[in-house]
Structure 1
Amino acid sequence: MWKKKRTKFGHWLDKEEIHQLQLEEASNLSRGTVSRLCNSEGHIPKRSTLAQLIKDLKNWAKIKR
């Protein structure tokens, strides 16, 4: 079976059952940015992108509990 390449972050999203579309909507990041974060090993996001992502994931964790 063919398995798509994923970054550690992409594998974490899969484990937590968070879809890329959900992350895109929750964090107000573009679809391309979320896709690169999940699939491209060589992609290094800007600091502001990481800050936005971390803030939104923390809020998501509070809501999920």
Structure 2
Amino acid sequence: MSLEEASRQLEAAIHDARVSFDCILLEELDRAHTNAITARAAVDAAEQAIRVELERRTAEETDKEEADSPD
């Protein structure tokens, strides 16, 4: 996953959260519940994508530091 994917997932989460909010106001609780679950799944996917990118960057920095250090 990329940071672009994380951004898309967060946009989807925002949308689903808004739909869930509206459904609550309309007392469509089943639909509100479904959208709350999909919003949470999108947030989890975004968090995972960000974590993977952070780990990749940390590994790159470590590799660079090791290459630059004298033996």
What TM-score does the superposition give when structure 2 sets the normalisation length? Answer: 0.34
- Which structure carries more helix by proportion? 2
Q: Give the alignment's TM-score, normalised by structure 1.
A: 0.37
The structure, 1 or 2, with the larger RCO (C-alpha pairs under 8 Å, 6+ apart) is 2
When Rg is computed on C-alpha atoms for both structures, the one with the higher figure is 2
